[in-house]
A and B are shown apart, each in its own frame.
Chain A
Amino acid sequence: MKAKEIFNRIREIPEAGVIAAFVIMCVILSFLSDVFFTLQNFVNILQQVSVTAIVAIGQALIIITGNIDLSAGSTMALGGVVAAFLAQQGWNPWLAAFIAVALGCAIGYLIGFLSIRLQIVAFIVTLGMDYILRGCCYLISDGMPISYTNSVSVLGSGKLGIVPVSVFIMLFLIFFFQIFTKKTVTGRRFFAVGCNDKSARMSGIRVERIQIGAYIIMGALAAFAGIINAGNLWTADSVSGKTLALDTVASSTIGGVSMSGGSGSIVGVLFGAVIIGTMRNAFVLLNISAYWQQVAIGVIIILAVGIDRFRAK
């Protein structure tokens, strides 16, 4: 009886499934590799997923409100390129980074304006924007990587003890947005809007503002992640983040965010990103061909959604 109660309690935690999957993965991998279950390895995994996880927060917010963003990777690249380009031109690197993030917000607003106010399908708008923004990256950088070594780079390459700064930033953002979505009035409205936009409107929610807001947050997070990414690599590269948009959709989905909108959690998204990161890590440690990674991640995505589908009944 007691055990059953605890079990039911756990079942009610929305992230329970993805966390359980992660734990099982860890147990299996610990047996297969000596290096896997070490603090250093976990720190490595977190560091490798930090950019994806930060952008996935934005992607999750957008999916929760019932939309999608396929341009996240290009926004990320553009954020890094703009910050690096302006710094190279002699701007204060912090001001340059701020401008890059502001530009991210503007891009988010533009996407929101086109897809929400003008009602052009989000899928198409963000697909188009992906090409446009990628093109802008090449135009600014002339296709060449821009060196990024200044005081801002510490966000991507600095460490506190053995833990990279980027991991702290990621964890802070996850925590902040978890509280925002679950515990603030505005955050809760994201779910209402995604569940049923008409009901939300009738309940006095400014639906368009929430949906555009999600794109603006995404723009800022993506541009910011671009700066971290550039800092980590010491260069801003126009070709970075080509698979990022789909990686973030995958992280959200594995983390339990419903593609039809209205449900999901930010902590879940972190675990979604970490599961993908752990897979990649494991394939390296176990010396399995990188090509199999792709196959395995695909299988996980389908499994995650499949299991969720049955759980929902």
Chain B
Amino acid sequence: MEKEMLRLEHVSKAFSGVRALTDISLTFRRGEVHALVGENGAGKSTMMNVIFGNIQPTEGKIYFSGQETVVDDPGKAQRNGIFMIHQEGSLLDTLSVMENVFLSSLKKNRFGFLDNRDMYRKTKEILEMLEIGHIDPKRKVEKLSTPERQLVEIAKAIALNPALVIMDEPTASISAKEVQILMRIIRKLKEKEIGVIYISHKLEEVFEIADVISVLRDGSLIGTYRKEEMDTDRLITLMVGRQLGSEMEELKNKGGKEEGKEAVLKVEALKIPGYGKTVSFEIKRGEILGFAGLVGAGRSELFETLIGYRKTDVKKITGSGRELKVRNPADAISAGIGMLSEDRREKGIFAQHSVRDNINIINLKNLKKGILVSRAKETDIAERMQKKLNVKTSDLKTRIRHLSGGNQQKVLLARFLSMKEIPEILILDEPTHGIDVGAKAEIYRIIKNLVESGISVVLISSELPELMLMCDRILVMHEGTITGEVARREFNQELIMQYASNLKHNQA
């Protein structure tokens, strides 16, 4: 357990004078899961890039198995047995699973051609070890679901016999079930004396799997602790540098007053394309309605169908007594239903456009002076939103892609909150996905304020603690249908998981 593998000594890194890492000394050992936590911008990515050879430290040394090494390109890191599983995915869509797995070491047979049979067999072995044996190694990566891709990424790293695997937010896009698979995989890696660096915002997972936890804040190492000597509250305080516990406590005591509210929207029948049965439920005024379920349960699809982003043949929705015709998201917004997708990059932001333009895109028609859009009004609204939601950006003209995930999410919320008539119903799909603890708390507070002003929020989340903290009631989905409803006083992780895996249901 105590075998040293990789050691950083007094490593610092400055980008054009700005310190990104300050005097970091850390040791990673074989067969040890070393969690790295910290808010966005704390320096985790910079540190991983230094280890992986993408960037050079300004000062300090790196020792590999006790020997000083200069890691000046990722190829060298890989030859030293260091592999990284990327957050954003590095798989090539048009190639097959096995070609991806063996991409950097494609196998040749004795005629010099690719040895497909051998690659197939080895890939199959690895996939089976990862408990995803159902994936055909010959399948094209583009046909895989997001969680499947994530697991194939891991397979790719394992195929290369690593000594140290860096996992950067590996569970960002997978559900509870796959998280459990991942945890088992990590334990297997440990048994094989492979070291793991585990970067995650999800502290629960950190506590489940880590042996040691290192906390980074503002580029400095705050400390390295054995898991046993640490608890969640203390860890959050170390990461954020201030007490968040009380804010969370306050949130906990609000909510849970769902009785006696009238319905603002009734979904009488809706068939999600690709699933068999129809769904029906209602949303009450001023409530936070949670949607839990495993990946593939159809939660995002349900609401994308509801707002008309996806087409279906069965859809009957009524709001304040009349049937609503929602053929597309434009109709939904007119009817007072707004949705923020879980996929911020793909279906949320306009990456190349400014923060200001990203805020105003829905509300433009209310910012006219005569028939033309007024720059002054645009800037005014954007500034007000920036202040109100505490969006951290140097300038409203900055392109949104330069903002952190949390700030992007606030900008997207501002799209609806800046409207003359804020939608009565806001559907937020994984609004805290990949966002650090501080920004998370802010988003929770924004949601709570919205609800207090009478807006109803649908919260789709894969993090049960988040749902249980925020929601008045939770509906649980499994394979395109609602399998259970849980009121706040009955909230309980096991019960929700049972509904989610369809081991139990209380709805037809």
- Tell me the complex Cα distance, A179–B332, Å: 29
Q: When each residue 282-297 of chain A gets 1 if its CB lies under 8 Å from chain B and 0 otherwise, what string results?
A: 0000000000000000
Task: Say yes or no for A38: interface residue by CB 8 A criterion.
Answer: no
Q: Is the interface of A mostly helix, strand, loop or mixed?
A: helix
Q: Which residue of A lies closest to B369 (CB)?
A: A183
Question: Please, which residues of chain A bring their CB within 8 A of the CB of B182?
Answer: none
Question: Please, which residues of chain B bring their CB within 8 A of the CB of A205?
Answer: 330, 361
With contacts A184-B372, A185-B364, A188-B373 known, is A195 near B329, CB below 8 A?
Answer: no
- Tell me the complex Cα distance, A45–B362, Å: 41
Task: Say yes or no for A262: interface residue by CB 8 A criterion.
Answer: yes
Query: Which chain B residues (319-367) contact chain A, with CB distance < 8 Å?
Result: 328-330, 332-334, 339-341, 346-353, 357, 361-362, 364-365
- Tell me the complex Cα distance, A57–B339, Å: 34
Question: Please, which residues of chain A bring their CB within 8 A of the CB of B372?
Answer: 179, 183-184
Task: Say yes or no for B309: interface residue by CB 8 A criterion.
Answer: yes
Q: Which residue of A lies closest to B362 (CB)?
A: A203
- Tell me the complex Cα distance, A203–B330, Å: 7
- Tell me the complex Cα distance, A185–B352, Å: 18
- Tell me the complex Cα distance, A12–B372, Å: 21
Q: Which residue of A lies closest to B375 (CB)?
A: A183
Task: Say yes or no for A6: interface residue by CB 8 A criterion.
Answer: no
A262 contacts B353, C-beta separation under 8 Å:
yes
Q: How many residues of A contact B (CB 8 A)?
A: 23
A184 contacts B328, C-beta separation under 8 Å:
no
B330 contacts A196, C-beta separation under 8 Å:
no
A202 contacts B341, C-beta separation under 8 Å:
yes
Question: Please, which residues of chain B bring their CB within 8 A of the CB of A90?
Answer: none
B350 contacts A195, C-beta separation under 8 Å:
yes
- Give min CB distance, A259 to chain B, whole Å: 13
A202 contacts B350, C-beta separation under 8 Å:
no
- Give min CB distance, A189 to chain B, whole Å: 8
Task: Say yes or no for A191: interface residue by CB 8 A criterion.
Answer: yes
B365 contacts A196, C-beta separation under 8 Å:
no
Question: Please, which residues of chain A bring their CB within 8 A of the CB of B18?
Answer: none
Q: Which residue of A lies closest to B330 (CB)?
A: A204
Task: Say yes or no for A150: interface residue by CB 8 A criterion.
Answer: no
- Give min CB distance, B433 to chain A, whole Å: 16
Question: Please, which residues of chain A bring their CB within 8 A of the CB of B361?
Answer: 188-189, 192, 200, 203, 205
Residue among B330, B340, B361 with most chain A CB within 10 A: B361
Task: Say yes or no for B503: interface residue by CB 8 A criterion.
Answer: no
- Give min CB distance, A13 to chain B, whole Å: 12
Question: Please, which residues of chain B bring their CB within 8 A of the CB of A198?
Answer: 346-347
- Give min CB distance, A31 to chain B, whole Å: 38
Task: Say yes or no for B371: interface residue by CB 8 A criterion.
Answer: yes
Task: Say yes or no for A30: interface residue by CB 8 A criterion.
Answer: no
Question: Please, which residues of chain B bring their CB within 8 A of the CB of A191?
Answer: 350, 353, 357
Question: Please, which residues of chain B bring their CB within 8 A of the CB of A189?
Answer: 361
Residue among A191, A203, A205 with most chain B CB within 10 A: A203
Q: Which residue of B lies closest to A201 (CB)?
A: B329
Question: Please, which residues of chain B bring their CB within 8 A of the CB of A263?
Answer: 352-353
Task: Say yes or no for A117: interface residue by CB 8 A criterion.
Answer: no
- Tell me the complex Cα distance, A199–B411, Å: 13
- Give min CB distance, A193 to chain B, whole Å: 10
Task: Say yes or no for A159: interface residue by CB 8 A criterion.
Answer: no
Task: Say yes or no for B315: interface residue by CB 8 A criterion.
Answer: no
Question: Please, which residues of chain A bring their CB within 8 A of the CB of B368?
Answer: 185
Question: Please, which residues of chain A bring their CB within 8 A of the CB of B357?
Answer: 188, 191-192
- Tell me the complex Cα distance, A205–B330, Å: 6
- Tell me the complex Cα distance, A184–B309, Å: 25
Query: Which chain B residues (361-399) contact chain A, with CB distance < 8 Å?
Result: 361-362, 364-365, 368, 371-373, 397
Among all A-B residue pairs, the 9 with the closest Cβ atoms: A204-B333, A204-B330, A183-B372, A195-B350, A198-B347, A185-B364, A185-B365, A204-B329, A202-B347
List residues of chain A with CB under 8 Å of any chain B CB. Answer: 12, 179, 183-185, 188-189, 191-192, 195-196, 198-206, 258, 262-263
25 contacts between A and B (CB under 8 A): A179-B372, A184-B371, A184-B372, A184-B373, A185-B364, A185-B365, A185-B373, A192-B353, A192-B357, A192-B361, A195-B351, A195-B353, A196-B351, A198-B346, A201-B309, A201-B328, A201-B347, A203-B329, A203-B333, A203-B361, A203-B415, A206-B330, A262-B353, A263-B352, A263-B353
- 20 more contacts with CB within 8 A, not counting A196-B346, A258-B352, are A12-B397, A183-B373, A184-B373, A185-B373, A191-B350, A192-B350, A192-B361, A195-B353, A199-B347, A199-B348, A202-B341, A202-B348, A204-B328, A204-B332, A204-B334, A204-B362, A205-B361, A262-B350, A262-B353, A263-B353
